[in-house]
């Protein structure tokens, strides 16, 4: 009996033989990650939709396509997207070095580690839509290896960051084109104010965190422990430390933005300028603001 799969955002139901799905499921090793055949079939359905868009493919084309997929990587990605801990442990252990290498190949050293770690939250899926957690893994369709796909994601993040930074660069005025030798860069009288507001907002945001979250940040940034080492201190898995760190970073940024807007009454442009200045200021160091990691998490 055929299995009908109608992936999200698709107007076409694709009939795939249930025996084929079961065979691919067993070949993928999905049971290792406690991934259900239903969830695996849904991942196959998303992959089919992405490959054939809204054009109904012939059954033989679907079978040939599914047989060509990296099924083991697809099963792992799907299990991670569903939050299965064994899959996450394996992913962090086996793919974190590749993520770090990919980030180091296209970003400055001081940015590479942050870039590699920041992707974990999107992979796990902290954002929810209509009550469903959205994971970046849902966009992996198994056509390439998972390692290759992750390198492409990292490269795109570098491009996105560059574009985002570019949006806040001031456009030159007419006088800037008058030629060399002219002092066209006036001092920004608001810089010290923005730095002061940024530091105050960060201190307030850190003070509002749970003790365990502050300790986790301190271990990672002040002591520069690896995720695995911080996990041993806290009694958490490496994957759990990574997810909680990224969640805390997002909460900090949101709290800082909220204070700058609601308490300090800054506009969107001023908030952006505040983040720009604090991000480039050597003295603005998260490690200096954090408590000693010797403190108890409570």
Task: Quote the pLDDT of residue 65.
Answer: 92
| Coil vs helix vs strand at 13 | coil
Q: What angle do CA 247, 252, 254 make, to 5 degrees?
A: 95
Residue 17 backbone dihedrals phi, psi, to 5 degrees: -60, 130
More confident residue, 90 or 278: 90
Q: How confident is residue 298, by pLDDT bands cut at 50, 70 and 90? A: very low
pLDDT over 90 (residue 21): yes
pLDDT over 70 (residue 281): no
CA dihedral 29, 155, 120, 205 (to 10 degrees): 180
Residue 209 to residue 167: CA distance in whole angstroms: 31
Q: What angle do CA 238, 240, 244 make, to 5 degrees?
A: 120
Q: How confident is residue 141, by pLDDT bands cut at 50, 70 and 90? A: very high
Give me the residue label for tokens 């799907």.
Answer: 78
Q: Which helix (H) or strand (E) holds 28?
A: helix 18-28
Question: Which tokens is 243 given?
Answer: 């997810």
Give me the residue label for tokens 């929810």.
Answer: 128
* CA pseudo-torsion sign 144, 121, 117, 273: positive
DSSP alpha helices (H): ranges in 82-170? 85-106, 109-124, 146-167
In this prediction the pTM is 0.55
Residue 134 to residue 122: CA distance in whole angstroms: 8
Q: How confident is residue 132, by pLDDT bands cut at 50, 70 and 90? A: low
Which is nearest to 41 in space by CA: 52, 54, 28, 56? 28
The average confidence (pLDDT) of the chain is 77
Q: What is the DSSP annotation of 108-131?
A: -HHHHHHHHHHHHHHHHT--EETT
Percent of the chain with pLDDT over 90: 22
Task: Quote the pLDDT of residue 271.
Answer: 87
pLDDT over 60 (residue 181): no
More confident residue, 262 or 284: 262
Q: Rounded mean pLDDT of 116-123?
A: 75
pLDDT over 50 (residue 228): yes
Q: Note the CATH number of domain 191-289.
A: 1.10.10.10
Residue 152 to residue 119: CA distance in whole angstroms: 12
Task: Quote the pLDDT of residue 78.
Answer: 94
| Coil vs helix vs strand at 283 | coil
* Domain residue extents for the chain: 2-81, 87-165, 191-289
Residue 201 to residue 285: CA distance in whole angstroms: 13
Residue 91 to residue 87: CA distance in whole angstroms: 6
């Amino acid at each position: 009996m055929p299995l009908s799969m109608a992936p999200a955002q698709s107007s076409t139901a694709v009939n795939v033989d249930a025996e084929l799905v079961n065979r691919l499921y067993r070949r993928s090793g999905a049971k290792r990650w406690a991934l259900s055949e239903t969830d695996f079939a849904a991942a196959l359905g998303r992959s089919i939709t992405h490959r054939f868009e809204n054009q109904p493919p012939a059954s033989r084309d679907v079978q040939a396509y599914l047989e060509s997929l990296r099924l083991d990587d697809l099963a792992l990605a799907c299990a991670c997207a569903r939050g299965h801990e064994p899959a996450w442990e394996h992913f962090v252990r086996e793919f974190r070095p590749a993520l770090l290498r990919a980030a180091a190949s296209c970003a400055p050293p001081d940015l590479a580690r942050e870039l590699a770690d920041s992707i974990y939250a999107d992979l796990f899926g902290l954002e929810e839509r209509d009550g469903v957690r959205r994971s970046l893994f849902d966009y992996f369709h198994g056509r390439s290896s998972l390692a290759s796909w992750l390198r492409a994601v990292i490269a795109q993040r570098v491009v996105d960051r560059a574009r985002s930074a570019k949006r806040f660069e001031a456009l030159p005025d007419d006088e800037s084109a008058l030629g060399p030798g002219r002092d066209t860069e006036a001092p920004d009288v608001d810089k010290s104010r923005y730095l002061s507001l940024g530091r105050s907002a960060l201190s307030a945001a850190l003070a509002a965190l749970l003790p365990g979250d502050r300790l986790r940040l301190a271990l990672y940034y002040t002591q520069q422990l690896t995720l695995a080492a911080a996990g041993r201190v806290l009694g958490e898995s490496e994957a759990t430390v990574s997810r909680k760190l990224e969640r805390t970073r997002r909460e900090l940024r949101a709290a800082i933005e909220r204070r700058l807007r609601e308490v300090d009454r800054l506009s969107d442009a001023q908030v952006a300028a505040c983040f720009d200045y604090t991000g480039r200021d050597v003295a603005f160091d998260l490690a200096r603001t954090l408590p000693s990691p010797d403190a108890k998490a409570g």
